[in-house]
Amino acid sequence: MERPGEWLDRTSKVAPEGEAYASESRSTSLSFRSGELKEVKASETSGVALRARKDGRLGFAVAYGPAPEARLLANLEASLRLGEPSPRGFAPPSPPTPVEGLWDRHLEALNTSTLVGLGRFLLDRLGRECPDYVFDCGLARTLGRVRYANTGGHAYEGAATSFSLWVEFNRPSRDDMLLDVESHASVGLEGHEELVDRLLEKLRRARRDASLAPGRMPVIFSPGAAMVMVGPLATALNGKQVAHGTSPLAGRLGEKVFDEKLTVVDDGTLDGAVGSGPYDDEGLPTRRTVLVDRGVVRSFYHSLETAAETGQEPTGNGTRAGLGAQPSPSPSNLLVLPGGPTQAEMVRAVDYGLLVDSLIGVGQSNTLAGAFSNPVGVGFLIEKGEVAGRVKDVSVAGNIYEVLAELTALSSDVQNVYGAYRLPAFRVDSIKVVG
């Protein structure tokens, strides 16, 4: 693995200020198709990314594998000549945020045959209980390490493990093909059994069909389906959108925009969470940031750059979307704080309505404006407090700023969604349902 300190000595020939970020990862992934093992893949990646600042401009260069010094420095120097103006420097020295449980030794010791065995075990269980479905799945284990140093005297090392699992199912024997995906991400192996339990409950409910009369009605969005609202909200709270003036929440700090039941927190300090760490990817300590407090917009999440552009405090959310990308604001672990009733109790409180388990095309509408109109992938009629059966050919539509201003309830039970989100179920009592 590259040593950032040595690269800082070399970049001093190019610019007086700089940073070096080195990473390496080892990954094992496998996939099953129709219950049979299709592919096993092992990969290793490493490299170093350099940033330098000179005459108010920022340069960036990256190399994968063993870095050729002359070429990398020449690329960095060329980038400096054309780089964007950058009034701010790099992260100052600071103590790390204490975070535990980021490296799982059991996952580190897991060999390929054990990973294959886990995949077979999950598929066998699904196949026994739902023999009329076809299941595909994928599993991956990743071990990652990073090193960072800058000319301000700040340096750190970090390491984390991650496990990811997805299961796709389809029922091809009927005219109304049922197709959906469940996914999970965690630091260790925990959580895969909960995914299977959740999936089996969904398939049991889908054995019965039901008809839904369209109109405005109570709708319960499962944690996964709630991303149709939380995704655009997270985008609006991104400091980059605020800096560009494209966020509908820009200029609304301190204003009550949402229902008082809604509190949103970004927390990079959670023990054992995929998005946690002692520092972000540009060397700032992670923190817990309250973004929305009982409906009031309190903060945005920032990198060093967007904090400087907006005159606000950086929040430790500078994230690299790969070694070849510069840090940009991204949620660490974005939490919607839970409410009082369980999701099951929320269902029992609805006389007639819709339970949405998944939606098609989330994120493909006008997300910044908050509008959504999505076909329901998997949804169920609620009648007299009971799940009556699966509904087909229906869509839901609305605007998140109107919906989140009139929340009826949030569930007390939460679910990990896409690794970076922990969400309850949402109940809203007047959603437009088309069918």
What is the domain partition of the chain in residue ranges? 4-202, 208-435
Phi-psi region of 221 (alpha: psi -120 to 50; beta: other; left: phi over 0): beta
pLDDT at 3: 84
The yes-or-no verdict on residue 174 having pLDDT over 80 is no
**pTM of the entire structure?**
0.95
Whether 76 has a pLDDT exceeding 70, the answer reads: yes
CA 118 vs CA 30, 38, 122: distances in Å: 11, 15, 6
> Could you read off the pLDDT of 181-235 as tens digits, one per residue?
999 999 999 889 999 999 999 999 999 999 999 999 999 999 999 999 999 999 9
Q: Give the tens place of pLDDT for each residue, 91-106.
A: 999 999 999 999 999 9
With bands split at pLDDT 50, 70 and 90, how would you rate the model's confidence at 309? very high
**Mean pLDDT over residues 265-280, rounded?**
97
Tokens of 398: 């609305």
Token couple for 326: 């510069």
Query: Average pLDDT in the 82-87 region?
Result: 84
CB 165 within 8 A of CB 29: no
Q: For residue 88, is pLDDT > 70?
A: yes
Average the pLDDT over each of 160-174, 210-224, 262-276, 297-311 and give the range with the smallest value. 160-174
Strands 334-336 and 421-434: parallel
Q: What is the pLDDT of residue 308?
A: 93
Question: Which residue has tokens 């995704």?
Answer: 231
**Secondary structure of the chain in HEC code, one letter for each residue:** CCCHHHHHHHHCCCCCEEEEEEEEEEEEEEEEECCEEEEEEEEEEEEEEEEEEECCEEEEEEEECCCCHHHHHHHHHHHHHHCCECCCCCCCCCCCCCCCCCCCHHHHHCCHHHHHHHHHHHHHHHHHHCCCCEEEEEEEEEEEEEEEEECCCCEEEEEEEEEEEEEEEEECCCCCCEEEEEEEEECCCCCHHHHHHHHHHHHHHCCCECCCCCEEEEEEECCCCCHHHHHHHHHHCEHHHHHHCCCCCCCCCCCECCCCCCCEEEECCCCCCCCCCCECCCCCECCEEEEEECCEECCCECCHHHHHHHCCCCCCCEECCCCCCCCEECCCCEEECCCCCCHHHHHHCCCEEEEEEEECCCCCCCCCCCEEEEEEEEEEEEECCEEEEEECCCEEEEEHHHHCCCEEEEEEEEEEECCCEEEEEEEEEEEEEEC
4-202 belongs to which CATH class?
Answer: alpha beta
Q: The tokens of 194 are what? A: 């909960």
pLDDT, residue 307, reads 96
Q: Which of 288, 227, 235 is nearest to 418 (CA)?
A: 227
- Tens-place pLDDT, residues 390-418: 999 999 999 999 999 999 999 999 999 99
**In this predicted structure, what is the pLDDT of residue 398?**
94
Task: Give pLDDT tens digits for 355-367.
Answer: 999 999 887 766 7
Tokens of 387: 């799940």
Q: Is the pLDDT of residue 302 over 90?
A: yes
Cβ(107)–Cβ(141) under 8 Å?
A: yes
- pLDDT, position 83: 86
- CA-CA distances (angstroms) from residue 298 to 115, 257, 289, 404? 43, 11, 9, 16
Six-digit token string for 294 = 């009982």
Cα 219 from chain centroid? 24
pLDDT at 312 over 70: yes
In a 13 Å sphere around the CA of 211, the CA atoms on its Cβ side amount to 1
- To the nearest whole number, what is the mean pLDDT of the chain? 94
Residue labelled with tokens 């973004």: 291
Cα–Cα distance between 69 and 75 in angstroms, integer? 10
| Strands 407-417 vs 386-391: parallel, antiparallel or unpaired | unpaired
Nearest-angstrom CA–CA distance, 127 and 113: 21
